[in-house]
């Protein structure tokens, strides 16, 4: 069974490709390598002993997307990761985010609309909830005005999928609203390797710990949280990857109750920025150089998931602890920087 994974050389995409190959799916990757590298293919092969098909395509090019589906007319499912993903950058470059994240989704759905059947998994985000009123956040929490253009693209993306599924019942879709992915594969063959300055907390922590960055900036310590820093739900990327495979299998086996469903994917536990720093210091044995600075535009204060729906319906639950995920991230950082642990 042939599955398309867009953004399949990226952080979450590559780990999901590994899980798919290990479940004997045939995988085709589309990636434009704007925030990834073809070298990731070597890591995927080292783990699985298999090589996915790779097509270097920019999904913003509508005709290129159409040509891909003419060439691979036997695609039965799509997992769509390809998107720009940094909250802070989206505030500074909103039009880039709207173009990258919405046009690409539309072009994919246009192609799927002409197929007899198709399964579609969308990489959504907890940012669709904005600053939720209650914790933990359930799927029934109101979708508030987004705090950033990035979050808004995820809200609009979900609306586009929902509207498309209403008039194209042959398309079965699931949006996975996940929280904060971190970590790396236990093999240290693949992990998070952002190009340029990291936009996410954990790779900035590990790069600071290894000496690549001088210090970590903690954006605000005056929030209404126990230690004053923002709280997020940090999930190991391998647990997250497995959730995508389980969701895809639900659609392929026609177990879905509706042709569009939404699930939270997280651990169900929130950790503050200072707690994440503490985790790094425990697993690495290093003291992290960090400094408290002003708040960052677009940040919500607290966000962690109620995962009971995914546990009950998908039969999925995150297994790894914060320290286990952090240790895998640090092992990966040490390997790629050729540092002794």
Which of the residues are catalytic?
150
Tally Cβ neighbours within 10 Å of residue 137. 24
Please give the Cα distance from 266 to 237 (Å, whole number).
Answer: 10
Distance of CA 73 to the CA centre of its chain: 27
In order, the DSSP letters of 22-76 are: HTT-EEEEEE--SSS-TTHHHHHHHHHS---EEEE--TT-HHHHHHHHHH-TTEE
Beta strands 271-272 and 231-232 are: antiparallel
Kindly compute the dihedral angle of the four CA atoms of residues 292, 293, 295, 300, in this order, to the nearest 10 degrees. Answer: -30
Alpha-helix runs per DSSP H in the chain = 11-22, 40-48, 62-71, 87-92, 94-98, 104-112, 149-167, 201-210, 237-252, 273-284, 308-309, 322-336
């Amino acid at each position: 069974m042939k599955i398309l994974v867009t953004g399949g050389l990226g952080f979450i995409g590559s780990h999901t490709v590994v899980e798919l190959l290990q479940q004997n799916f045939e995988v085709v990757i589309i990636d434009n390598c704007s925030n990834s590298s073809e070298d990731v293919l070597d890591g995927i092969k080292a783990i699985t002993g298999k090589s996915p098909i790779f097509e270097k395509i920019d999904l913003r090019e509508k005709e290129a997307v159409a040509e891909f589906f003419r060439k691979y007319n036997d695609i039965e499912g799509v997992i769509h990761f390809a998107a720009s993903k940094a909250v802070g950058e989206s505030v500074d470059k909103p039009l880039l985010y709207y173009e990258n994240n919405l046009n690409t989704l539309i072009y994919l759905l246009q192609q799927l609309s002409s197929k007899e059947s198709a399964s579609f998994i969308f990489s959504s985000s907890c940012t669709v909830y904005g600053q939720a009123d209650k914790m933990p956040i359930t799927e029934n929490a109101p979708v508030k005005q987004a705090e950033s253009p990035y979050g808004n693209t995820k809200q609009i993306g979900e609306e586009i999928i929902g509207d498309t599924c209403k008039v194209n019942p042959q398309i079965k879709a699931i949006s996975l609203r996940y929280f904060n992915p971190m970590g790396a594969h236990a093999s240290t063959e693949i992990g998070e390797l952002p190009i340029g300055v990291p936009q996410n907390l954990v790779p900035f922590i590990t790069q600071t710990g290894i000496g690549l960055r001088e210090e970590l900036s903690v954006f605000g310590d005056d929030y209404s949280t126990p230690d004053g820093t923002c709280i997020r739900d940090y999930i190991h990327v391998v647990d997250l990857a497995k959730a995508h495979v389980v969701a895809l299998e639900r659609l392929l086996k026609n177990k879905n109750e509706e042709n569009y469903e939404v699930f939270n994917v997280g651990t169900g536990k929130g950790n503050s920025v200072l707690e994440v720093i503490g985790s790094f210091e425990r697993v690495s044995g290093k003291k992290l150089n960090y400094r408290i600075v002003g708040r960052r535009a677009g940040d919500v204060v607290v966000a962690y998931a109620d995962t009971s729906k995914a546990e009950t319906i998908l039969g999925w639950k995150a297994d790894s602890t914060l320290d286990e995920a952090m240790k895998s991230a640090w092992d990966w950082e040490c390997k790629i920087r050729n540092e002794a642990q």
